[in-house]
Each structure stands twice: as C-alpha cells, then as structure tokens.
Chain A
Amino acid sequence: MLLLIAGTMAVLLVRNLFVATMLLGIVSFTMALIFISLDAVDVAFTEAAVGAGISTVLYIGTLALVGSQEKDKPRFAAGPMVICLAVGAVLYYATYEMPRFGEADNPVHTHVAPRYIEDSPTEIGVPNMVTSVLASYRGYDTFGETTVIFTAGIGVLLILRQRRRRKNEDDETDVPLDEGKTGRKGSLSGLGSEHDLIPHVIAKLLIPFIFVFALYVQFHGDYGPGGGFQAGVIFAAGIILYALVFSLEYARHVINEKAILLLISAGVLLYGGVGVASMLLGGNFLDYNVLASDPVAGQHLGILLVELGVGITVTAAMLAIFYAFVGRADLIAAKAEQENN
C-alpha cells in the first residue's frame, strides 16, 4: 500500500513522461497484487493484463508520437493543492461514517449480493460467481460495456485514420509493403529490426503459449478466474507482442484491419444475437434459460457464447486501437522522410 503511494507520488513528480508511464505500469501491477489479497482474483487478472500491459504500450505509442519531455519546470500550484487538500479532508472525515473494512454485515453485503452467492450455484451452475453475475444476472450491463468498448475502438479509428485517408488521395504517401522502406527509423513498426535475434527467438517461443493461455482463460472462465474481458486482452497482447518484435507489416499479414473491423462488430452482434435468440425462443432478452432444454445447460451455453462475444470484441478493439496508433507513427515517419528528400 505504501509502495502504491510512493509510486503515485513519483508519477506526479517525475519529469520524463516515459518514466512516468513505466511507474504507472508498476503502480497498476502493485494494485493487481493488492486485489489478489482482497479476494478479487478476476479483477487482479484484468488489472495486470490491462493496466500493466496494454495501457503501457498505448502510452508509449502516444509518446512516440508526441515527444516525452514535459516543458515547464515543476512548480507548486497553490490553487489545485488547496482544492485537493480540502476535498481530501472532507473525504477523510467521511470515512469515519463508513462501515468498518471487511465486516460481513456491511450494507454492501446485505442487498443483492447474498442472492447471487447463494443461488448462482444452483441457478446458473457456474462455479465462478463473478462470471455468472457478469454474464447472466447483470448481462445487460455487460452488453452495454461491450458496446462502449466497441464505440471507443471505432472512435479511435475515426480520429486517427481520418487524415490518413485524405492524404492517400492527395499525394499517395501510403507506404506499400513490397517497397521495403516501411519507416525503419523512429517509427514503432520499425522496432522489429532483423538483427535483434534474442527478442525474435523469445517471442516465437512465447507467443503460442500466450494464445493457448488466452483460450484457456476464455473457455475456463466459468470455472476459474478469467473470462472474455481478460482473454481478449491477453490475446491482443500476444498479437501486439508479435507486431512490436517483428514489425506491424507482419502482424498485418496475420490479421489485417478489415478483419479487425469485422471482428469488432461480430463480437457485439454475437452478444446481441444471443439475446435476440433467447427472445425468439420465448424468454426475455438475454434470458439464457430457454436456450437449452435444461435451464442450467441453457445458462452454460448462453454464458459461453456471450463471453466469446465479449472476448472477440475486446481483442479486436484493443488491436484496432494499437494499429491506429502505430499506423499513425508510420504515417508521420513517411511524411518526415518525404520532407527530407
């Protein structure tokens, strides 16, 4: 805990944004360890994969585009400090009204949670209660959140690709694959140099295991910690590792942007489709009981399909975001090269 506070203070004070990003990753990872100690294994899983993994990659991708040094000297901002201290003091005072940490009769634990804990083993038949609450009891929420991820992925694509398309029409700076000058210097995709033997070998060894692990997390999420969100992020991380080590062009051979666009919507459609299917079979929207002859089997099937949809959308959205950032870096590198000539 104290490590966390030290880490965040360092993030605040450090000048170099690269260092700040790395520290943020460390803070996320420490937070994941704390989540484990607080029994939130699924959340810790997600935090480690997202906070310490994908978000660090994204920040570094941004920094490659915008430069990594803060400009002005560190200075003491009196106004914000006063506001922060005041808000902090109010919140600190409010903690004394809070129920004590970790007691079983806190109000949080007396509303709907007991029903989830007691009935989900018989109603849903899935040992991991987090999965059953996520995909079945609160399936509407999760549908909404999947849609948010879908929207954010589309949004990043729109923001970062708009100029590119116009540029391609104007002066055809689209860097073709077979010309071999795919922005080796200064661009993210240029990271994959042919001479770095050790990363290549290690990545080749690791990536199959990452994919197998992602599939395990995806389909074992009913029984242990895991599920669509984590599996999607891990799967995307495998492809991002491939892209970082071997260059984006190779990754585009594996899965290109059109396929990503198809997948990103296919996931949401699969989720919604399960809901519509259950409606057609006479139940409510996202009521999985009717999907099979036995309600518990129906719940199993429904949760499996819904988690698959979530996994597909999350993978595709993360990849779309990553490709957009890296493609942007390539574009700028190509532009700079052109201006130099």
Chain B
Amino acid sequence: MSFGFFNYWVFIILLMIGLYTVMSRSNLVKKMIGLSLFQISVFLFYISMGKISGGTAPIVVENITDGAAPVYSNPLPHVLILTAIVVGIATTALGLSLVVRIRESFGTIDEEEILEMKDGA
C-alpha cells in the first residue's frame, strides 16, 4: 500500500458517505448508522497516519534475525482509536436507546413525521 494518498482518499469518500447518510435520511436508525460510518472512516484516517512503510506492529520482538533494529508503527494513534471504538459503541448505544424512547413516545422514528406532528399539534 505505497500509493501516496490513497488511504486518505478512501477516508474522505467514507466520511462523505456517512455525512450524506446523516443529512439526507430522515429515519433515525439510519442516521445512527451514518454516524457509525463517519466514525469508522475517522478511525481509518488515524490508523493510516500511524503506519510506517516496512514497519511492524508495536510489540517488542526479542529475536531479530538480521540484526537490524525493527521499525515499529506509531503506537499512539492505535491507543487513541482503540479506546475511541469502545467509547463509540457506548455512545451509539445511548443514541439508540433515545431512538427507542422516541419511538415509544411518538410512534415513529421518522424525523419528518415527528416534525409534522409537532406542527399539527
């Protein structure tokens, strides 16, 4: 994977698909899915930045056969994203539980229908 900015372009495309899903779909669950896509693309961005070509996973290896010091990829983005993934699922669950409550109060999870109800009342 040594072709320049390819990872960043994929990141941008995924980010925009996620953003478009959030903005254009009125179903609240679909919006949450869009947010998840958005989140995943940011993870890809961070991990791409941490990669060093020819590097290895940041776990110390004892027996180096050819004697050269191993190149480790940057562990810092890994740490940030590792925790962000778990925090992300926790907050997604919080959002989904709000969706469930909205469904119970309004009988629908469609944003436009909820707004119509509000105007009609």
Residues of chain A having any CB pair with chain B under 8 Å: 1, 4-5, 8-9, 11-12, 17, 20-21, 24, 27-28, 31, 34-35, 37-43, 46-47, 50-51, 54-55, 58-59, 61-63, 65-67, 70-72, 77, 79-81, 83-85, 87-88, 91-92, 95-96, 98, 100-104, 106, 108-109, 112-113, 116-117, 121, 127-130, 133-134, 138, 141-142, 145, 148-149, 152-153, 155-156, 159-160, 163, 223-225, 227, 229, 232-233, 314, 317-318, 321, 324-325, 328
Bound CA span A108–B85, Å: 21
A130-B82, A133-B79, A325-B97 are known contacts. Are A152 and B91 too (CB-CB below 8 A)? Answer: yes
How close is B1's CB to chain A, nearest CB, in angstroms?
A: 7
Name the residue on A nearest B19 (C-beta). A84
The yes or no answer to B65 lying at the interface (CB within 8 A) is: no
Question: Are B2 and A101 in touch, CB under 8 angstroms?
Answer: yes
Name the residue on B nearest A81 (C-beta). B20
Bound CA span A76–B96, Å: 26
How close is B33's CB to chain A, nearest CB, in angstroms?
A: 6
Q: Give 11 new A-B contacts, CB below 8 A, not counting A35-B47, A104-B55, A128-B59.
A: A8-B13, A51-B85, A59-B96, A70-B30, A79-B23, A102-B1, A102-B2, A113-B74, A159-B97, A232-B86, A325-B100
The yes or no answer to B63 lying at the interface (CB within 8 A) is: no
Bound CA span A79–B90, Å: 31
How close is B102's CB to chain A, nearest CB, in angstroms?
A: 9
Residues of B within 8 A of A5 (CB): 10, 13-14, 17
Residues of A within 8 A of B109 (CB): 66-67
Bound CA span A83–B99, Å: 26
Question: Are B4 and A321 in touch, CB under 8 angstroms?
Answer: no
Task: For chain B, give the interface size range.
Answer: 35 or more
Bound CA span A233–B52, Å: 29
Question: Are A84 and B110 in touch, CB under 8 angstroms?
Answer: no
Question: Are B59 and A224 in touch, CB under 8 angstroms?
Answer: yes
Bound CA span A67–B106, Å: 14
Residues of B within 8 A of A325 (CB): 93, 96-97, 100
Question: Are B9 and A40 in touch, CB under 8 angstroms?
Answer: no
A17-B29, A116-B75 are known contacts. Are A152 and B60 too (CB-CB below 8 A)? Answer: no
Question: Are A92 and B100 in touch, CB under 8 angstroms?
Answer: no
Residues of A within 8 A of B52 (CB): 39, 102-104, 109
How close is B17's CB to chain A, nearest CB, in angstroms?
A: 5
B33's partner among A20, A88, A106, A108 (CB-CB below 8 A) is A20
Bound CA span A232–B76, Å: 21
> Which positions 40-94 of chain B face chain A at CB distance < 8 Å?
40, 43-44, 47-53, 55-60, 71-94
Residues of A within 8 A of B81 (CB): 40, 43
How close is B99's CB to chain A, nearest CB, in angstroms?
A: 6
Residues of A within 8 A of B83 (CB): 134, 141-142, 145, 229
A31-B44, A88-B16, A108-B50 are known contacts. Are A40 and B76 too (CB-CB below 8 A)? Answer: no
A59-B96, A71-B110, A113-B76 are known contacts. Are A80 and B60 too (CB-CB below 8 A)? Answer: no
